[in-house]
Amino acid sequence: MTTLTAVVTGASSGIGAATVRLLRQHGWRVIAVARRAERLQALAAETGCEPFVADLTDQAAVDALRTHIEAGGPVHALVAAAGGAIGTDPVATADARDWMRMFDINVLSAQRSIAALMPALRAGARERGVADILAITSTAGQISYESGGGYNAAKFALRGMMNALRLELAGEPIRVMQVAPGMVKTDEFALNRFGGDTAKVDALYEGVEHPLLAEDIAALVVHALEAPAHVNLDELTVRPVAQAAQHKLVREPLRVRD
């Protein structure tokens, strides 16, 4: 039986790291890609994944990743989990450099990864009968909200790119999928967005019963990758029960009405 190989970007924390852990539990060979070597080494020691240190905003690093991957044989899945939000400034006062950075880490890092790994993914499709490209998008790419313009723009762009890719690969046995989470509580995402302001992070989640966790999203990712070959989960939107919509949060215990 062929051992399935996945490449997971953004693997040093959050959804990426949780996905690496669960894929390894399911017997996949996993190449974990991220910028932070120390975190990747710790994840490798914990899970047995293969760490590869790369900044996916640097084309030379992506080229090195492609060379490394091609030397190791076919790839059956790419999980593009690298991304993040920077700041909460309104459109009229935002720093364009922050927006450029968000576009680079959310959209171009995925595009570079897909372009670099496509030959290995096609080889994986020939071997397994199907290969997968799955991006972690966001409900921020489906509906805009105040003070999120830059992140909205980046995630809308990622979603649009993945939809175009699905059309471009029509006729090939390569599934193109998206998982779009709503509120997920991780160690770093909101902290990075609020510039390290822990009070703002605490206020964001205060009173919200059971926000999603990285492990919840990882479970959906692995389910999508292991679904029958003819099943393509085009776009899966997932929110906690306490989040009815982007701005509709229940900040009290959930209960059944009389």
Active site residues: 151
For 1, the token pair is 């039986």
Separation CA 18–CA 217 (nearest Å): 8
For the beta carbon of residue 254, count every other beta carbon within 10 angstroms.
10
User: Residue 221 in contact with residue 179, Cβ under 8 Å?
Assistant: yes
The alpha carbon dihedral of 57, 38, 187, 79 has a sign of positive
Separation CA 197–CA 192 (nearest Å): 8
Three-point CA angle 57, 59, 61, nearest 5°: 85
Strand partners, 34: 53
DSSP 75: -
User: Residue 163 in contact with residue 154, Cβ under 8 Å?
Assistant: no
